[in-house]
């Protein structure tokens, strides 16, 4: 089943045409990797699904963007509700200057949950899901800034998971991390895809190969090709895809 569909989406930053007529589908409970050279529009495309592009005043969007069959840019759509359903993890870990516990509880609190026992249980579960519980269970009251970069990123993943989204957007979630943390995050993605629809942007071809089921190749604002990951990496139809994954440009 398709969790997300875009039909002929065009996005402009002022006069700059950043996404050109993109139509594609994202399969539910699978991992889709977005690859392509820097500036080709991967992040811009990703931000469509939780309407983060709305924060940029020069943005103009045309076309249909459907999440679970509903047009999320329709009038009357509650953006905060959408963002509860579509979580996001950023390239640079951005924990809040709060305790580890409060970082994760934050998403619950702003969504009106007050029950203490419930929050505690959800915090623990999210930390377990993001494979951080063992490392932090004795210092939940410590500042999140005391964690390492890799731990902070897993904290941000836990923070996103705590509000039980069904879609997880990850924009180069491991690009600022060491190989061990990267492996942990990749394993995590592998675990999570049973329950979540994950879209991940990455510049690391091996990573795309390891974690994703389907891969989409973007080039200068266009979707060149999308297919099963192993097809993209072994037998791409388009010569530009082939050049990119074999490292001949980009």
Partner 1 sequence: MKQPDHLKVRKKKQRNQRLAFVSFGIISFSMVAILVVILSFILYHGFHVISWDFITKMPEDGMTKGGIYPAIIGTLYLVAGSMLFAFPIGVMSGIYINEYAKDGMLKRFIKMMTNNLAGVPSIVFGLFGMSLFVNKLKFGDSILAGSLTLGLLALPVVIRTTEEALKAIDNSFRIGSLALGATKWQTTRRVVMPMAFPNVITGLILSIGRVSGETAPILFTVAAYFLPKLPHSIFDKVMALPYHLYVIATSGTNIEASRGMAYGTALVLIMLVLIANLLANALRRYFSKKVKMN
Ligand X SMILES: Nc1ncnc2c1ncn2[C@@H]1O[C@H](COP(=O)(O)OP(=O)(O)OP(=O)(O)O)[C@@H](O)[C@H]1O
- In the complex, the residues that contact ligand X under the rule CB under 6 A are 13, 16, 18, 36, 38-44, 56, 58
CA distance 122 to 105: 8
State the number of binding residues for partner 1 (CB under 8 A): 32
Give the start-end residues of each E strand in 130-244: 167-171, 197-201, 214-219, 222-228
Give the start-end residues of each E strand in the chain: 2-13, 16-27, 31-35, 59-67, 70-71, 86-89, 167-171, 197-201, 214-219, 222-228
One of 40, 52, 67, 174 touching partner 1 (CB under 8 A): 52
One of 62, 81, 120, 121 touching partner 1 (CB under 8 A): 81
One of 29, 106, 166, 209 touching partner 1 (CB under 8 A): 106
* Among candidate residues 21, 16, 81, the one with its CA nearest the CA of residue 51: 81
Of 34-53, binders to Mg ion (CB under 5 A) are: 43
| Shortest distance in whole angstroms from residue 235 CB to partner 1 | 36
CA distance 127 to 34: 26
Q: Which does 80 bind (CB under 5 to 8 A by kind): Mg ion, partner 1, ligand X, none?
A: partner 1
Which residues of this protein are in contact with partner 1, per CB under 8 A? 50, 52, 55, 57, 80-84, 87-88, 90, 92, 94-99, 102, 106-107, 109-111, 141, 143, 145, 156, 159-160, 163
């Amino acid at each position: 089943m398709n969790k997300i569909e875009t039909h002929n989406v065009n996005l402009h930053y002022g006069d700059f045409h950043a996404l050109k007529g993109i139509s594609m589908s994202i399969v539910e409970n699978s991992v889709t990797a977005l690859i392509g050279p820097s500036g080709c529009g991967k992040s811009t495309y990703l931000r469509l699904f939780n309407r983060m592009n709305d924060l940029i005043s020069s943005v103009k969007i045309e076309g249909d963007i459907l999440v679970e069959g509903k047009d999320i840019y329709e009038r009357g759509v509650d953006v905060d509700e959408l963002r509860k359903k579509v979580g996001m993890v950023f390239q640079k870990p951005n924990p809040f200057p709060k305790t580890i516990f409060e970082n994760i509880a934050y998403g619950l609190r702003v969504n009106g949950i007050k029950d203490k026992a419930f929050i505690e249980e959800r915090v623990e579960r999210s930390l377990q899901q993001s494979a951080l519980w063992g490392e932090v269970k004795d210092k939940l009251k410590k500042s999140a800034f005391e964690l390492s970069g890799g731990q902070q990123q897993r904290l941000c993943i836990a923070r996103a998971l705590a509000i039980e989204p069904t879609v997880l957007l990850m924009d180069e979630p491991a690009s600022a991390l060491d190989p061990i943390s990267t492996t942990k995050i990749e394993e995590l993605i592998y675990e999570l895809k049973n329950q979540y629809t994950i879209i991940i942007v990455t510049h690391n071809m091996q990573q795309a190969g390891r974690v994703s089921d389907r891969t989409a190749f973007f080039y200068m604002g266009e979707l060149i090709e999308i297919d099963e990951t192993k097809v993209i990496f072994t037998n791409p139809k388009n010569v530009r895809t082939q050049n990119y994954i074999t490292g001949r440009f980009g």
